[in-house]
Amino acid sequence: MTAPVTHRALNWGGYPAQAQRMQEIAWPSDLGPAMLDAMPPGALILAHGNGRSQGDVGLNRDGVLLNMRACNRLLAFDATTGLLTVEAGATLHEILAFAAPRGWMLPVVPGTRFVTVGGAIANDIHGKNHHAPGPAHGGWGGSFGHHVVALDLWRTDAPMQTLKPGDRLFHATVGGLGLTGVIVRAQLRLRPLGSGLLARRIVPLRSLADFFEAMAIHGPGHEFSVAWIDLLAPDNALGRGYVELANWLDAGDGVLPAPTLPAVAVPFPLPFNAVNPFAVRAFNTLWRMRPRRREAVVDYRAFFWPLDGIGNWRNLYGPAQFLQCQVVIPHEVAEGALVKIIRLLRTQGRPTFLNTLKYLGGHPPVGWCSFPRAGVTLAVDLLMEGTPTLHLLRQVEDIVLLAGGAIYPAKDSALSARGFQRMFPHWTRLAEVKDPHMHSDFWARVSAVDNYT
C-alpha cells in the first residue's frame, strides 16, 4: 500500500478550498491494517466519493481521504426482484447506464446523477418524490435510505459486517455523514418501469402563496414535484416562478434510454465568473418567460437532471466560490418562515439561478441524523463573499431554528454547533457509535460542545 498523495480535492462549490491528502482504494480488500499503517501517524480518515457535496461534509483537511471511486463494480442483479448489489464507489449514472435499458430505475434520485452510492447513503439523499408513498405503503417515495435493503460496512475497530434495516448501526450509517465507517457495498431495490417518459404539468407561480395553493390542489395526484423560484423578484412577486408536477407513463416496451455523458462541458474554470448578478437577472427573466406547454410528455433525463447536460458546470463560476444553503421548514409554519428567508437572501446575499422548492413527506426518517423530514425545503446557491455571506447564513440558521426546521449537512458550510445539535438531536447517538478513526471538517465544526458562536 503506497502512502497517501497530497493534492487539492475540492467540494463542488469550491468552498472551503484546501489541500487534501488522498489514499486510492482500488478494491475493498485494500481496507485494512496495511492501509492504516501507511497513513501519517495519528491521521484520521474519511471515505470520499465523487466530490459532489457542496459543503465540508466530505473534506478532512488534517487527515486522509479514502478515494472510493475505483470501487464502482456492479456485482449482482436479480431481474425478478430488482435487487442490485453494487460497490459504494459507483455513481447513480453508472447504475442507470446498466439498469435503464433493462427497464429498471432507481426509486429516488437527487438533482445530479453523478453522486456515488456511498455518498447517497451517508447523506440519505432525497429527490422530487419524497412526499409520495414509500415502501411501507407499496410506493417508491421517501429518501434513498428507504430503498437500501442491506449494506456492508468496514470499520477500523471491527470486521466487515452486513447491516440491514433494524440493525442499530444501519440507522446510524444511513444519514451518518460517513462517520460510522466505510460503506463498501450496498443492496438497493430498483423499480420496474414501462417507459422513460413522464406526463408533466407546469403551474405558473405569481407568488409564494401560489406554490402552496398549487401543491394543495395538484400535489396529491402527482408522484414528482419541484418548483423553481426567482429570488430576485420584488416583494409584490415574492416567490414567482413555476412548479413542475409529473407522473410516470408506464405504457411502453419496458426499455428506458440510458443516460449519456454530457455532450457539452466546461472543461476548465473560466477566468471570470459567468454567474454574476447581471447574468443571473437576465437568466431568471428568460427562464421564467420562455414558452412552455402546460401539459407535455418529457424524457426522464431532462426532468430529473437538467443541469447534468453541461459537464463541470461549476466551472462557469471561474475563480469565484459558491455554496448552497438548503433548509426544510415544517409544513404548518413554512410559508411565513420562507418569506423571511427569501427576503433576507435577496437583500443581503448573491443568490444565483438555482433556487428550488420541494415538498417533503412525513416518512419516518431512516437514519438517526437523516435530513429529510415533513416540510417544505428551499435550496439556494449563493456566491461566497466571505464574512458577510457567513453572517447571512447564521441569520438564516436562526430563522430555521425558530421554525423548528433543519439545514442539510450534505450541502452546508456554515452551520454552528448549536444549530446542528438542536436540528439533529440524535447526534449524540451517532457520536457514540462513530468509528474512532473517522473524521470530517464538518464534524469538527458541529460536534464541538463549546462552539456555540
Residue 41: CB partners within 8 Å, gap ≥ 6?
A: none
User: Do the Cβ atoms of 308 and 207 come closer than 8 Å?
Assistant: no
Checking if the pLDDT of 451 tops 50, the result is no
In DSSP notation, 374-405 reads: SEEEEEEEEE--SHHHHHHHHHHHHHHHHHT-
Does domain 197-423 match CATH 3.30.70.2520? Answer: yes
Checking if the pLDDT of 453 tops 50, the result is no
Higher pLDDT, 62 or 18: 62
Nearest to 371 by CA among 411, 337, 399: 411
In DSSP notation, 19-36 reads: EEEEEE--SGGG-SHHHH
Percent of the chain with pLDDT over 70: 95
pLDDT in tens, 170-185: 999 999 999 999 999 9
- What's the pLDDT score for residue 293? 78
In DSSP notation, 127-180 reads: -TTTTS--GGGT-S-S-GGGGEEEEEEEETTEEEEEE-TT-HHHHHHTTSTT-S
Residue ranges of the domains in the chain? 197-423
pLDDT in tens, 305-360: 988 888 887 788 888 888 889 999 999 999 999 999 999 998 887 878 779 999 99
274-278, 308-312, 392-396: segment of lowest average pLDDT: 274-278
d(CA 170, CA 153): 9
167-171, 192-196, 397-401: segment of lowest average pLDDT: 192-196
How far from the centroid of its chain's Cα atoms is residue 438's Cα?
21
Determine the average pLDDT of the residues in 373-378.
98
pTM: 0.95
d(CA 50, CA 84): 20
Checking if the pLDDT of 9 tops 60, the result is no
Checking if the pLDDT of 407 tops 50, the result is yes
| b/e per residue 354-384 (b: at least 16 CB within 10 A) | bbbbbbbbebebbbbbbbbbbbbbbbbbbbb
- What's the pLDDT score for residue 2? 64
d(CA 294, CA 204): 9
CB atoms within 10 A of CB 227: 24
Nearest to 361 by CA among 351, 352, 370, 348: 370
| pLDDT interval class at 5 (50, 70, 90) | low
Pairing verdict, β 322-329 and 375-383: antiparallel
SS3 429: helix
SS3 86: strand
